[in-house]
Structure 1
Amino acid sequence: MNAQLDLPIIPPTVLSGVVEIGRREGAEVDAWFVGTGLDATRLLAADTVKVSYRQAAAAVLRRAVRDMPGKPLGMLVGGRDMLLSMGMLGVAMRSCATVSDAVSVALDLHLASGSLIDVDLEHFDDEVALRFRERRPEPELRRFLIEEAMATLTVFARTVAGSDWSPSRVELTYPPPPYAAEYTRFLRCRVEFSADANRAFFPTKVLDVAFPTHHEPTRALAVDACRRLLGNGRKEPDLVTAVEAVLERDLRHALSAADVAGRLHMSERTLRRQLAGAERSFSAIRDRVRERHAIRLLRESTLPVAIVAREVGYSDIRDFRRAYIRWTGHSPSAERQLTG
């Protein structure tokens, strides 16, 4: 089991939106929360409530999606006002100097908005794409989660860049839903279904566009608030939590200490010194993150071991096997036999 999925560190932004829409549609909202340890009324009333991924996605959202079939529920949730959908992360992003800076902040801190999807930036010849990835396989929720993330991105961009903004095109892995026309209406671009990945494309030059709302003191304060928000609920120093968050977002690329330090806006020397002060080492933190992710993939997916190795940053499957035995005392193949 991946312990990170059970930590109550996620602001209930998405759940709150689903509850509001469910009540408006006359759904039996309270029934969605039975057995989860959460309460719909308290969720909407309290600013301090945090939820775990399993509570949010595995339990409540499944029931909500089943209760409201045939509705563009993800777009309705993500299409709300930016501050409702993104909170302090939205403040941090709109205070950045450029689109590139805002994307960097979003990639590092997207969990602070209550996001239930992970995001990567991919570079092509004359385009870039935000690629949306499920945190764990959720076939029943895939459409909802991607819709919500795409709609949230679109609302943010239109708030900052103007109401005419749209992606150049969008690719989605699932078949067209009954309301497919709503995608074209909302996104105002070509939408391709049954693609190989979930991506929103933009011209590369967009990354250099300056934000008229840039204000560095506000950005710094909002970024710090997001980091503190993510630190709540984790029994680790804030810097360790921040390092884990960066590594978790980009495990496939085997980030070095220098890479992580750059994304945290500090030198490698400062990062290592502060980790030593917390009695932690970068390599131990990276190993722990890799181990958690590898165990989850081996237990909860049918991916071949070679693919799991690449997903956690190993290009050589032999190195991965050696590391896995060092972490757990048994091989990746034995892990599946133990839980099969």
Structure 2
Amino acid sequence: MTARLDLPTIPPAVLSGLVEIGLREDRAVDRWFTGTDLTAAEVLNADSIKVSFRQAITVLRRAVGDMPGRPLGMQIGGRDLLLSLGMLGVAMRSAATVGEALAIGLELHQASGSLMDLELEAHDGATALRLHERRPEPELISFLCEEALCSTTVFVRSVVGPDWAPTRVELSYPPPPYAHRYERFFRCPVEFGAQANRSVFPFSTLELPFATRNEPTRAIAVDACRRLLDVGRGEPDVVAIVEALLEQNLRYPLSMSEVAARLHITERTLRRRLTAAGVSFSGVRDRVRQRRATALLRESTLPVAAVAHQVGYGDIREFRRAYVRWTGQPPSATRRAR
């Protein structure tokens, strides 16, 4: 488990939703937080703290274990937009189109407390929002997918109309006991045991306009989300922001000029700021890749070639050379050592 998973960078919106459900059902919610340095009361006051990925996952495991066989992820993701997405929802609703809103969401989704990583991809002649686990969590995969896909669906319906539905939803896990609720919520075919977790919809969806478009509001809300993500990282802001952007685009790596463009600064300015922080762009990129690759080698069963692809390498030989340079040993040694 990497040090990044211990940094308090995640708003506890998902945890607070679970605590509210637990309190309504008279569950011993304080037990969910034992040994995490958190309390149920703290996460209910979501504006006051941030939590680490490790803390969030620990609480989630206990909560889901305490309320098994329930569509908890659907309940959390299907809430009112401001409860599920917060300031990120404001930023996305102020965009011009679905495509622009999703671009904002892909960049800043962690500001809503998201525990999955997201990407848009072309899939079977359509567009798909694909979910990636930040760390393999087989006990929680259904909860994490439900929360992410339901909140996204609620968002799109809130701006383009309540009748919108994906073409289909694909999920890698077996049907849960309440599988019938998936089709009722998404209003489309749902495939279980698929190769990936994704929501598929026509390309034309990206061009749907928003009546709620407001550029000044979008700019303010996006800035607020970026500031929210900076809190608690314990590093120079520019390094934290660059790491966040690279982490969110590992499979299709961003160049230095592309990162600079997303930050609305010149490449020269970005290089100067990174140098002032004592790092280089290639050094930041390497440590992000190493961190993710090591986690996948230790905690997943993905073949080494698939791990290479997950961190942006199309050539497995190039990945092996890079991994030896980073760690002093080949990927196979890390895999065996787990």
Distance 1:225 1:277 in 2: 24
Aligned partner of 2:174 in structure 1 is: 175
Residue 316 of structure 1: how far off its partner (Å): 2.4
Aligned partner of 1:87 in structure 2 is: 86
Aligned partner of 1:35 in structure 2 is: 35
Residue 126 of structure 1: how far off its partner (Å): 4.1
Q: Read off the aligned partner of 1:308 and give its amino acid letter.
A: V
Distance 1:45 1:249 in 2: 28
Residue 249 (structure 1) aligned with residue 243 (structure 2): no
Aligned partner of 2:49 in structure 1 is: 49
Distance 2:266 2:191 in 1: 42
Question: SS in structure 2 opposite 1:253?
Answer: coil
Distance 1:174 1:181, change over 3 A: same
Q: Read off the aligned partner of 1:215 and give its amino acid letter.
A: N
- What does residue range 128-139 of structure 1 map to in structure 2 within 5 Å? 128-139=127-138
Q: Read off the aligned partner of 2:193 and give its amino acid letter.
A: S
Q: Does structure 1 conserve the Cα–Cα contact (< 8 Å) formed by 2:11 and 2:111?
A: yes
**Which runs of 5 or more structure 2 residues have no equivalent in the other structure?**
none
Question: SS in structure 2 opposite 1:130?
Answer: strand
Aligned partner of 2:221 in structure 1 is: 222
* Residue-by-residue CA offset, 1:59-103 (whole Å, 9 max, x unaligned): 111111111112111000111111111111111111111111111
Q: Does structure 2 conserve the Cα–Cα contact (< 8 Å) formed by 1:108 and 1:263?
A: no
Residue 204 (structure 1) aligned with residue 171 (structure 2): no
Question: SS in structure 2 opposite 1:206?
Answer: helix
Residue 18 of structure 1: how far off its partner (Å): 0.6
* Residue-by-residue CA offset, 1:18-58 (whole Å, 9 max, x unaligned): 1111111222211111111110012112512111111111x
Aligned partner of 2:10 in structure 1 is: 10
What's the C-alpha RMSD, in Å, of the aligned pairs? Answer: 1.6
Question: SS in structure 2 opposite 1:251?
Answer: coil
Distance 1:41 1:110 in 2: 24
* TM-score, length of structure 2 as denominator length: 0.95
Q: Read off the aligned partner of 1:158 and give its amino acid letter.
A: R
Distance 1:270 1:234, change over 3 A: same
* Residue-by-residue CA offset, 1:89-139 (whole Å, 9 max, x unaligned): 111111111111111111011000000111110114641010011111101
Question: SS in structure 1 opposite 2:132?
Answer: strand
Query: Number of residues paired by the alignment?
Result: 338
- What does residue range 129-168 of structure 1 map to in structure 2 within 5 Å? 129-168=128-167
Q: Does structure 1 conserve the Cα–Cα contact (< 8 Å) formed by 2:11 and 2:46?
A: no
Q: Read off the aligned partner of 1:12 and give its amino acid letter.
A: P
Question: SS in structure 2 opposite 1:259?
Answer: helix
Aligned partner of 1:186 in structure 2 is: 185
Question: SS in structure 2 opposite 1:49?
Answer: coil
Aligned partner of 1:127 in structure 2 is: 126
Distance 1:157 1:306 in 2: 35
Q: Read off the aligned partner of 1:7 and give its amino acid letter.
A: L
Aligned partner of 1:21 in structure 2 is: 21
Aligned partner of 1:330 in structure 2 is: 329
Between 299-308 and 99-108, the greater mean CA deviation after superposition: 299-308
Residue 303 of structure 1: how far off its partner (Å): 2.5
* Residue-by-residue CA offset, 1:267-300 (whole Å, 9 max, x unaligned): 4344334333433321111011011111211222
Aligned partner of 1:60 in structure 2 is: 59
Distance 1:305 1:195 in 2: 21
